[in-house]
Amino acid sequence: MDYVVEVTAVTLATKHLNVNHTDKPLPSLTSLQNLIAYYMSPADRYLVERAIETAVSIHDGYFRKSGVPYIDHVLAVATILASWHAPADVVIAGLFHDVLKSRYANVPDLTALETNFGTVSIRLVRDTARLGRLGPLLSADQPDTKGDVMQQLPWVAMVLQRSPLAVVIKLADKLHNFQSLHFLSQKRQRAFANSVLR
């Protein structure tokens, strides 16, 4: 089924990234727009489109280790979430999931994001960031001990109970990271895979 996607300010805003040196929008942007057009209400689509524009601005000038503009990762995570038919708040949180990391984003005021996109989305961003700080339950270079795991379980249980959607966002983030591992050396690929699988 073909979906008609209007040309928006988002498409125009992403042209300045000049990622593929053409006038075509980024593939993940087009995929995301097509997906949200399929299942979201017009009001939700409008909010997600505004979040895309904001994410483009926030991540402008930031790059992944591969040299790819950071916005590509953010759009890919949001596209994965939209492919799972996640609600608008979750897709928006996916677009903003790394805004608390100054090496990837320029967010002078998180309160402005909350005002523009709602408390639910920004709470999910904060909870997703907390999950990122958790790290592996067991260190790859230390013996597995029940004590280490037991110390973190109450915190993990609290996050899962309070914000299961943050876990979904983190899964989409890790999935895209796995999909883009080919830019890293084999040693770094293995280290990343081991840290995620533990």
Spell out a b/e string for 150-165, using b for 16 or more CB atoms within 10 Å of the CB, else e: eeeeeeeeebeeebeb
Amino acid identity, position 2: D
Domains and their CATH numbers in the chain: 9-197 (1.10.3210.10)
| CB distance 194 to 186 below 8 Å | no
**Count of CA atoms in the C-beta half-sphere (13 A) of 163:** 22
List the structure tokens of 140.
């790859």
List the structure tokens of 180.
């883009």
174 Cβ contact partners less than 8 Å away, ≥ 6 residues apart: 196
What is residue 196's predicted lDDT score, i.e. its pLDDT? 63
Could you tell me how far CA 170 lies from the centroid of its own chain? 8
3-state class of 119 per DSSP? Answer: helix
pLDDT tens per residue across span 93-123: 999 999 998 888 888 778 999 999 999 999 9
| CB distance 69 to 56 below 8 Å | no
Q: What percent of the chain has pLDDT over 70?
A: 72
3-state class of 63 per DSSP? Answer: strand
107 Cβ contact partners less than 8 Å away, ≥ 6 residues apart: 58, 99, 100, 113
What is residue 134's predicted lDDT score, i.e. its pLDDT? 59
Query: Band of the pLDDT at 2, cuts 50, 70, 90?
Result: very low
pLDDT tens per residue across span 11-69: 333 333 333 333 445 567 899 999 999 999 999 999 999 999 999 999 999 998 888 89
